[in-house]
Structure 1
């Protein structure tokens, strides 16, 4: 699937600076392990996430999400991620975006003993910082079972090498996220200002008419303060962050290409999560999140997501400006990216960056687009 797997890819180009990375033996081992990730559907569905996953569990409607247990890993499922994005205001007067993500990929269903070098999980993490003029991206990978990557539920700690997302206790009242790359780094403190939110139907988030789904919850109420380092310069920042937590074994239907996903903070304190899974017939869903944390599942016919402008990035063309309408809520907004070139140039490339919006409501958030 990939002949050479870099330890870190960083900077606007996504290339690995000379001299960085683990040993050649470790890189070859990671390449070998990652070769077992589903590759046959790469041309059809994003990252092979539309492939069947025999032997792994599938999400089931009505399964309760339990804290703090579900902050931890779910090895009975093939894929999961811990996702954090933030819209930040710098003391220098500029706007910034931050992303920190840890992915776990199960190469095969767990057996009775899958410890140490017998562990069949691969971990991958992405970090990014975005400004109006630059987008910095880094990627790192590790195999499971040998202490270089993993997740602990209580107290929460997600880590890979020296990147970490840690909370003081299971309720995430106080947390910190850290990442280091050659051209950027950050250390940010997070304070929870509201409850965890169950997305979809009480945490069961359907992605296709044929039943593909994930278990999915969010924490959209983080306030943030800390420091970015860009080009060797420290920048004090404050802002708001959004955490997403999701696990599944077949996120896409086989005929779906990818998705467009929005997390939006409205100035009235409400929040909104929306997605469109693209296929012969798009599957659209979302949740309206009130300022007190109450969530309402939105029907597909309430949601309209209309691309307004395209951006060319290499061989890719992506809709980086959108009109978003929620008829039942009287919402009619247009989104604008902070940086339309927010390309995450890793092994599974995608677009992810901070956005702002105006119209019937104003605010800010994040947009992710895969499979283009």
Structure 2
């Protein structure tokens, strides 16, 4: 497998010829947000929305088709059976996010995601096995891995053809795989004997390695050598004085140059759940618009406890914290009506959890129309510390942006930064106020750092947030379509 080096010093595996062309066509429209470079972004914050280009459709020109299975209100999520893949639906993802703390006090935001999409509408509903011999089985897979420290962002994306066998989801034990990125349950009992708490997914282990070492910065980076992983991070005074540079071989003592070392981040986490799975919406049937034309099947596990190690550029760090898992599948979000969404998964200080969501939908359904009349639909789930869920409807919910980052990509013509009137500028709301009066919740949610932007083939914001106000806490925020 070959790698493509992005301008922001992230690695992206790039598969071969025919699949590359197909995937590029699909993915470029899959999330049509801006194509920026995270290390060259110039961002600013304000309380008012800056001038910027209008958002486009999140899934761009991908079109829904009757060949894909429809999400139906009278069919509900069943666990553990629905942990598996649903290949007859057009889109699906298994999404893990973590807010982690190191034993030395460092804070991290970690993401691991496996996407599946059916690209073969013409063939009708497919048959699927985790490993099949026919490469052209109509299923494509994509993996995203992202780690944010306060100073740096590590990101990698991977792609696989569904029939090759290097990417799949299977049951008993529950396992997701793309190449050597593996999430696997240690539960070995058949699904029918899985306990109510574990639902065949927990306890489990998550192991993956990704990313490229960043530009050398002696004021911020730990020792960027390939020494044994039992090394600990240098003391802050050593790092600030550049003491770690003396241990570097000559070819790695670089400033403003990419250090050509592979797999900067290695993750090994043990995952356990301390609460029940949550079926979002109506028993897993999740509407994204008031009239339900945009909808999905969706459930979560917001009570994940994570503990393990991360090796960041040669330095082992013991970490622990909270995780959130989402599994969602649909055939109704891949068209021009779905402009994008704002999603929040929050761990609050009283032990409760909050999922809040805003959908941006186009109400002009004429395919060739350039006019976009935007409908904003909001919904939320409040989950108390005992795992009891309450749906929160629009009338009892307010999700309002209060601050923005201006994300700016380079001009392809001259390599220079554009200005705020250029089409290269995107205004991304990274500070919010969320209010649930019935639960006495009035909180401010803000990104824990700037530039939490995944510079993938379809760029989007995915990053850790901090919570203040009536409750404190932390969590993750996803912003698409900007």
Decide: shared fold, TM above 0.5. Answer: yes
Aligned to 2:69: 57
* Residue 330 (1) aligns with residue 440 (2): yes
Q: How many residues align?
A: 361
SS at match of 2:471: coil
* Residue 176 (1) aligns with residue 257 (2): no
SS at match of 1:37: helix
Q: Deviations over 1:296-316 (max 9, x none)?
A: 111111111111111122232
Q: What is the distance in 2 between the residues matched to 1:226 and 1:277?
A: 35
Q: Give how far 1:6 is off.
A: 6.4
Contact 1:50–1:255 (Cα < 8 Å) also in 2: no
Aligned to 2:313: 231
Aligned to 1:286: 380
1:71 to 80, 83, 99: 83
CA 1:235–1:323 in structure 2 vs 1: closer, same or farther (change >3 Å)? Answer: same
Listed as ranges, the gaps of 5+ residues in structure 2 are 33-54, 188-198, 211-262, 362-373, 409-424
Aligned to 2:150: 132
2:464 to 336, 354, 368: 354
SS at match of 1:118: coil
CA 1:200–1:8 in structure 2 vs 1: closer, same or farther (change >3 Å)? Answer: farther
Higher mean C-alpha displacement, 38-47 vs 98-107: 38-47
Listed as ranges, the gaps of 5+ residues in structure 1 are none
Q: What is the distance in 2 between the residues matched to 1:113 and 1:331?
A: 46
Q: What is the distance in 2 between the residues matched to 1:21 and 1:369?
A: 24
Higher-Rg member (1/2)? 2
Q: What is the distance in 1 between the residues matched to 2:169 and 2:335?
A: 28
Aligned to 2:300: 218
* Residue 254 (1) aligns with residue 336 (2): yes
Q: What is the distance in 2 between the residues matched to 1:60 and 1:216?
A: 12
Contact 1:264–1:272 (Cα < 8 Å) also in 2: yes
Query: Scaled by the length of structure 1, what TM-score is found?
Result: 0.91
Aligned to 1:145: 163
Q: What is the distance in 2 between the residues matched to 1:288 and 1:247?
A: 22
Q: What is the distance in 2 between the residues matched to 1:57 and 1:358?
A: 42
Q: What is the distance in 2 between the residues matched to 1:330 and 1:219?
A: 24
Q: Deviations over 1:80-122 (max 9, x none)?
A: 0000000001112111111000000101245566742231111
Q: Give how far 1:215 is off.
A: 0.1
* Residue 204 (1) aligns with residue 285 (2): yes
Q: Deviations over 1:233-253 (max 9, x none)?
A: 111101000000000012266
Higher mean C-alpha displacement, 217-226 vs 271-280: 271-280
Q: What is the distance in 1 between the residues matched to 2:22 and 2:335?
A: 24
* Residue 32 (1) aligns with residue 113 (2): no
SS at match of 1:351: strand
Kindly indicate whether structure 1 or structure 2 has the higher relative contact order, using CA contacts under 8 Å at least 6 residues apart. Answer: 2
Aligned to 2:8: 13
Aligned to 2:50: none
Q: Give how far 1:225 is off.
A: 0.5
Aligned to 2:405: 311
Contact 1:196–1:217 (Cα < 8 Å) also in 2: yes
Query: Scaled by the length of structure 2, what TM-score is found?
Result: 0.71
Contact 2:345–2:356 (Cα < 8 Å) also in 1: yes
Q: Give how far 1:319 is off.
A: 0.9
